[in-house]
Chain A
Amino acid sequence: MHTASLAPAWRDNKRYLWPLGGIIMLLVPIAGVLYQATGWGGWWWLGPMVVYGLIPLADLLVGSDTNNPPEARVPSLEKERYYRWAVYLAVACEYVSVIWGAWMAANGGLPWYHIVGLAMTIAMVTGVSINTGHELGHKTDKLEQWLAKIALAPTAYGHFFVEHNRGHHVRVATPEDPASSRFGESFWAFLPRTMVGSLKSAWEIEARRLRRNGKPVWSLQNNNLNAWAMTVVLFGGLAAWLGGQVLPFLLLQAFVGASLLEVVNYLEHYGLMRERRADGSYERCQPRHSWNSNQIVTNVFLYQLQRHSDHHANPTRSYQSLRHFDEAPQLPTGYAGMILLAYLPPLWFKIMNPRVVAHYEGDMSRANIKPEIRDAVIARYAPQRRGGAVA
């Protein structure tokens, strides 16, 4: 009798689903095949159909899963190369979509409205790929850091590699973080604030590092510049091969792809705030500072990004090891469905604001609130404070 067999071995029930995150990166050629087979031009919009329709619906139908790997299993789980290859596959498939899609836009003889659909479908692929770059960019392994920048290049978001680790992770759930959204701030107000703020932050963080090491800011040792250079090479190469008319097409998909990442940023920490200590520093990032979801389908396609609290507590932990926490605030559905709500601010506020208020038990002085309405919000919800309003 083996003692090890007494306890059932933990199994990763998503193990064979992870390569789907790579397969979905092939949405652009899949759209082409469907168009070829049916002649229906609507297939060029396959990307938005999947991201905004199929995945949120599948989340509702398939449901959620709170299964956690036992801590004893995590070290061996982290070492399994299989999980890394699933992510590398996604980067390769992203490039198949971008390159084939750009060729199709230039040479497919498509009417403009199909080309716009094609750009949107590429944007869904490159936008989701920022999440792939995110998974890779948290690793200290040089190859993975390099692959992270490659995954970010089609959206020209190479600075995310710098800003996310050294900016967002440090200032998350504070008013100082451009990538943490505030109570009462609509997605449409958040989008320019985070895009501009993150870019500035990335530049400053990297310039500081280079100066400290006595290296020139304007050099390829600058992680922003060497990552953006990949975008220049990619877009420049495609323009040289297919003609300059692909450039506006590439820029359009880059912007839409980046805004897909930013809408996910928007919902990850909405209204949540870390407390300030007496010395002015912030408390450590805790499970209560991120919105989570255990919806299976989105968790497969986003490498468990929705187990966001554990990610912030253990940023170098790989996706397959991330855990669900009972005390972490939960979203009503998966990130994919929440994206749709975020696009419609009145609906978003109606559904999410009461959850933030409940999270802080009415004491909104502890929430991250849009500065212009901060005092009014605190006063408005004071009667809901546990034990009644404080006089």
Chain B
Amino acid sequence: MPFKKWRCVICDWVYDEELGAPNDGIPPGTRWADVPADWSCPDCGASKADFEMVETD
């Protein structure tokens, strides 16, 4: 299954499953579904629910 990207609808920061979010203790390759529900956008603090999947690119 190819890696997907999810973009914060508040500030446009992109979570790339391939890269993860190592600063928040989320290792590279972590699927979006496995990102903890209480994790929030590292740039603006928006909640995980405020992300939507990036269709292209």
Chain B 29-52, CB within 8 Å of chain A: the 1/0 string? Answer: 000000000001011111100100
Complex CA distance for A138 and B23, rounded to whole angstroms: 25
Give the number of residue pairs across the A-B interface with Cβ within 8 Å: 43
Distance between Cα atoms of A316 and B44 in the complex (Å) = 10
Distance in angstroms from A194 CB to nearest chain B CB is: 19
Please give the distance in Å from B51's CB to the nearest CB on chain A: 11
Residue-wise interface mask of A (227-248) relative to B, using a CB-CB cutoff of 8 A (1 in contact, 0 not) = 0000000000000000000000
Residues B45 and A169 in contact, CB atoms below 8 Å apart? yes
Q: Are B45 and A284 in contact (CB under 8 A)?
A: yes
Q: Please report the C-alpha to C-alpha distance between residue A169 and residue B42 in the assembled complex, in whole angstroms.
A: 10
Asked whether A5 is an interface residue with its Cβ less than 8 Å from the other chain, the reply is no
Chain B residues lying within 8 Å of A279, measured Cβ to Cβ, are 23
What total of chain B residues lie within 8 Å of the partner, measured CB to CB?
14
- Whether B11 contacts A316 by the Cβ 8 Å rule is no
Question: By the criterion CB–CB under 8 Å, are B10 and A169 in contact?
Answer: yes
Q: Nearest Cβ in chain B — how far from A39, in angstroms?
A: 51
Size of chain A's interface in residues, with CB distance under 8 A?
18
Task: Assess A169 versus B50: contact at CB under 8 Å? Given A281-B23, A315-B44.
Answer: no
- Distance between A173 CB and nearest chain B CB, rounded to angstroms: 12
Is the beta-carbon distance between B45 and A165 smaller than 8 angstroms?
A: no
**Is there a chain B Cβ closer than 8 Å to A140's Cβ?**
yes
Does the CB pair A315–B23 fall under 8 Å? no
- Min Cβ gap A274→B in Å is 11
Asked if residues B45 and A285 are in contact (CB atoms below 8 Å), the reply is yes
* B11→A313 contact, CB < 8 A: no
B21 to chain A, nearest CB (A): 11
Known: A140-B9, A140-B50. A165 touches B23 (CB 8 A): no
With A170-B13, A312-B45 already in contact, 4 other A-B pairs whose C-beta atoms are closer than 8 Å: A140-B10, A165-B44, A169-B11, A284-B45
Interface residues in chain B, defined as those with a beta carbon under 8 Å from any beta carbon in chain A: 9-13, 23, 40, 42-47, 50
- A sample of 10 cross-chain residue pairs with beta-carbon separation below 8 angstroms, ordered by A number, consists of A138-B10, A140-B10, A165-B44, A284-B42, A284-B45, A314-B40, A314-B45, A314-B47, A315-B10, A315-B44
The 8 closest A-B pairs by CB, nearest first: A169-B44, A170-B43, A166-B11, A170-B11, A315-B45, A165-B10, A313-B45, A170-B44
